Chain A
Amino acid sequence: MDKIRSHIMVCGGTGCVSSHSEELISALKAALVTAGYDQEISVIKTGCFGFCGQGPIVKIHPDNVFYVQVTPNDAEEIVKEHIVKGRTVHRLLFEEPEMKGKLESHDDMTFYKKQYRIALRNCGLINPENIDEYIAFRGYEALGKVLTEMTPEDVFYMIKESGLRGRGGGGFPTGLKWELTSKSEGTEKYIICNADEGDPGAFMDRSILEGDPHSVLEAMVIGGYATGAHQGIIYIRAEYPLAIKRLKIAMDQARDYGLIGKDIFGSGFDFDIIIRLGAGAFVCGEETALIHSVEGLRGEPTKKPPFPSESGYKGKPTTVNNVETFANICPIILNGSPWFKNIGTETSKGTKVFALAGNVNNVGLVEVPMGTTLREIIFDIGGGIQDGKGFKAVQTGGPSGGVITTLDLDTPIDYESLKNIGSMMGSGGMIVMNDTTCMVNIAKFYLEFTQDESCGKCTSCRIGTKRMFEILTKITNGDGTMDDLEHLDALARMIKDTALCGLGQTAPNPVLSTMNYFHDEYLEHVNDKYCRAGTCKALSKYSIIADKCIGCTACARVCPVKCIEGKAKEVHVIDQSKCISCGACFDACKFDAVLKP
């Protein structure tokens, strides 16, 4: 049946189509017919290759040759040379800017090296419910090595050397955390995996637990050995039923093999893991709050010190690490800390997983080395902004972070650089916003979240975030004054300085950063009672452009409050005092005559 021996794959993504990939496909097909090869070679249109700046892109399968900027005029040459004579068309190969060399295979290109998967190494590659497949990809080898060849000191020293920092947001050096717990007095110690991924718009931890649960279990045992803990606890959101199910299966399989339990690898080291369910409270991502929740209490944070490494779960020394942090441990043990240190920037080593979402074409999980720029992530990997709209801002760090604008798109990202531009790494949510997003409304959205999630323990967070939310609501309703802006700014700074835990201290960030970068939008809302994005209903009124209106009456017929006046074939007018800004007229008009506020 194997008549077709080769496939010419042409990118059919939006970017490539706009640079004439459709015509290229026709030209290739025609050239194949002329050459008499149309029965054995087929032309296939594919999804986006994510290399849109070089489009249209052509890949010959299975030769793995990769051509860029191919025009319909090149079709004949590709067929005559590559297909018929088997010679690569060098002219069309991609030239690596730094190496000045032409590259044939797409695997060699630095572009495709932009994503480097350490934490996600097995996701989508193995069956998460089969421990043997994990073992096939060097699973549990790191644990074996640790238990048979290394002392606990060797382990935390190695992690310290690697420069790995906490991936949950704070960026505390993981090796140091382990060392501190290890050196705390007491024989009863605990290690907790924080899988309470509460940042709205972040789902990297869930993906790791669902796709590669053993990588977390194995690292927990290693962490237990390094810190002197014999009990591991996974604290996971009840909202992640599939991840819980797969974790349970993985734990049973690991127990059957003796990889958790008593006398692991014959080393005399005992370690077991239990699961504790969260119940929906964002503040439980904070480690002291999390520990209280694990104890079955209200998840309220307590003052540090004492740090959990001295007094945590049940008052015993406890280490809390995030899922993604754990997922990095085994590769470091297997490949050594120099390998890991080689990736990333001066202060931030390794890679970071981001959940790229919002108004971007290729929504998905990406794992890039630290130091990659936001532009590369959003425009190269993410394929740019949806529906051809303009980029406005990107929010990192979720409700604790801030917005980043075009000004800083080329900043290489790491823990420090993000902080310097008013945001933070956070757990890795990355929400892209286009130019129809109102920044005041976004700030309000985040404050609504934090005031709702505030545990209520300290006054500045409990009352402060609520007041900020009220002021923002007032502004988006068109009742804001210049005084409000001042109060908002003062309140934000005060909460930042006085709140008890990370949640409160970072809650004002979305407001401060939007006020900093989009001050004019705040002013417009307050002074002109105008929302340029048209999202604040109270401030947005529709109008009709007289020149474009042909008087078809379509808008007047759909208006639910009958506020559009005008006779057939005459210009229509919207009575703005009655308009409820539903947008029905805008949708109904076929002549682009309705102006959206």
Chain B
Amino acid sequence: MTKPESQSKTYSAGVLPKDKYDKLDQYISTLEDKEGSLIHILHKAQEIFTFLPQEVQLHIARHLDIPAAKVFGVTTFYSYFTSTPVGKHTISLCMGTACFVRGAEKIAHELKDKLNITSGGTTEDNLFTLKEVRCIGACGLAPIIMIDDKVFGRVKVENIDSILKEFKEEV
């Protein structure tokens, strides 16, 4: 599946903490079918590092003794994986059909305007990353946005400010 340009380029993150790599290696060593579990390993890696930069992808390739191109191929194929850094909070905007017919487009415009980013982008203050996602499966509450794990249903353009405020004030 295609992704916004910013995500399909490899991103170099420089040196990352060793304990994080250790944690990942530890997880990989528990797996029986290592190569077949590549997707699971990438899930774990993204959980540990929050994103999958070039260095992490290479590390996994070397550890499993498979071509880095294969890791890169899988990482870029699936929309769940991201190879660029993400903000403190991820806003998932549901663009499923049910949300679409109940006005998700308007919400999308408003969010992009308010945060001054495009889909897949991160705000300047590194607070929010905006992602357009496919059906979250809460169609009864359409339109939906999800910030981290918190779901906001029946969102109206007028409410976006107050929803965002909650997360801005945390800092």
Q: Which residues of A contact B (CB under 8 A)?
A: 197-203, 206, 238-240, 276-283, 293-299, 355, 357-359, 363-364, 395, 398, 429, 431, 433, 437, 442, 445-446, 449, 451-456
Q: Which residues of B contact A (CB under 8 A)?
A: 1-2, 35-40, 42-43, 70, 73-74, 77-81, 95-98, 100-102, 133-140, 142
Do B137 and A203 have beta carbons less than 8 Å apart?
yes
- Chain A contacts of B101 at CB under 8 A? 358-359, 431, 433, 437, 442
A197, A201, A239: the one contacting B80 at CB < 8 Å is A239
Do B134 and A198 have beta carbons less than 8 Å apart?
yes
What is the CB-to-nearest-CB distance from A580 to chain B, in angstroms, rounded to a whole number?
11
A206, A282, A295: the one contacting B36 at CB < 8 Å is A295
A282, A293, A363, A445: the one contacting B100 at CB < 8 Å is A445
Do B77 and A281 have beta carbons less than 8 Å apart?
yes
B79, B95, B137: the one contacting A206 at CB < 8 Å is B137
- Chain A contacts of B73 at CB under 8 A? 298
The 18 listed contacts between A and B (C-beta, < 8 Å) are: A197-B137, A202-B135, A203-B139, A238-B43, A240-B137, A277-B39, A277-B43, A278-B39, A280-B134, A281-B78, A283-B1, A296-B40, A297-B74, A363-B139, A429-B97, A431-B101, A449-B134, A455-B1
Given contacts A296-B38, A357-B97, A455-B1, contact A201 B139 (CB under 8 A): yes
- Chain A contacts of B40 at CB under 8 A? 276-277, 296
Do B1 and A453 have beta carbons less than 8 Å apart?
yes
Q: How far is the CA of A198 from the CA of B96 in the complex (A)?
A: 10
Given contacts A238-B43, A299-B77, contact A199 B135 (CB under 8 A): yes
- Chain A contacts of B136 at CB under 8 A? 239
Do B78 and A395 have beta carbons less than 8 Å apart?
no
Residue of A nearest to B94 (CB): A200
Do A200 and B134 have beta carbons less than 8 Å apart?
yes
- Chain B contacts of A238 at CB under 8 A? 43, 80
Do B39 and A296 have beta carbons less than 8 Å apart?
yes
Do B79 and A280 have beta carbons less than 8 Å apart?
yes
What is the CB-to-nearest-CB distance from A507 to chain B, in angstroms, rounded to a whole number?
13
User: Can you name 19 extra interface pairs (CB under 8 A) apart from A280-B78, A442-B101?
Assistant: A200-B98, A201-B96, A201-B139, A203-B139, A206-B137, A238-B80, A277-B43, A279-B80, A280-B79, A296-B38, A297-B74, A357-B139, A358-B98, A363-B139, A433-B101, A449-B134, A454-B1, A455-B1, A455-B77
Residue of A nearest to B41 (CB): A296
Do B140 and A200 have beta carbons less than 8 Å apart?
no
Q: How far is the CA of A449 from the CA of B2 in the complex (A)?
A: 10
- Chain A contacts of B37 at CB under 8 A? 296
Q: How far is the CA of A433 from the CA of B43 in the complex (A)?
A: 37
Q: How far is the CA of A453 from the CA of B140 in the complex (A)?
A: 24
- Chain A contacts of B81 at CB under 8 A? 279
Q: How far is the CA of A239 from the CA of B136 in the complex (A)?
A: 7
Q: How far is the CA of A246 from the CA of B135 in the complex (A)?
A: 20
A296, A364, A445: the one contacting B74 at CB < 8 Å is A296
- Chain A contacts of B134 at CB under 8 A? 198, 200, 280, 282, 449
- Chain B contacts of A358 at CB under 8 A? 97-98, 101-102, 142
What is the CB-to-nearest-CB distance from A537 to chain B, in angstroms, rounded to a whole number?
9
- Chain A contacts of B36 at CB under 8 A? 294-296
Q: How far is the CA of A455 from the CA of B2 in the complex (A)?
A: 8
Residue of A nearest to B97 (CB): A201
- Chain A contacts of B79 at CB under 8 A? 279-281
- Chain B contacts of A206 at CB under 8 A? 137
Residue of A nearest to B79 (CB): A280
